[in-house]
Amino acid sequence: MASQLLPLELIDKCVGSKIWVVMKGEKEFSGTLVGFDDYVNMVLEDVTEFDYSGNHTNLSKILLNGNNICMVRQWKISQVRFANDSLVDSWWRRPW
């Protein structure tokens, strides 16, 4: 039987990698995960912030409150699926 990863172990494997974070409300972020704590507060670098109107903003660094995070996924999953589309197009065509 394969060993199971706990949620924090899975997030720990993403440190240094680009991730996509869906927040409560109307924001999503993509960026490189620098670190996180036991409450899943996250620090991201080289960040792009998206809102539901389709606007995006580039930020150098951001601290996300873990209480407001709904979902985290690896960036490469989104990039492979939408390799021929722009970042905003891939955001609008989310499979969920």
**HEC readout, 8-48:** HHHHHCCCCCEEEEEECCCEEEEEEEEEECCCCCEEEEEEE
pLDDT tens-digit map of 53-76: 888 999 999 999 999 999 999 877
Domain locations in the chain?
10-89
Q: What is the model's pLDDT at position 80?
A: 44
**39 Cβ partners below 8 Å, 6+ apart?**
66, 67
> Predicted confidence band at 84 (pLDDT cuts at 50, 70, 90)?
very low
Q: For the whole model, what pTM was predicted?
A: 0.75
What tokens appear for 41 in the block? 């507060």
Q: What is the model's pLDDT at position 89?
A: 55
Average pLDDT over residues 36-51: 96
Beta-carbon-side half-sphere exposure of residue 73 (alpha carbons within 13 Å): 16
State the architecture of 10-89 in CATH terms. Roll (2.30)
Residue percentage of the chain with pLDDT more than 70: 76
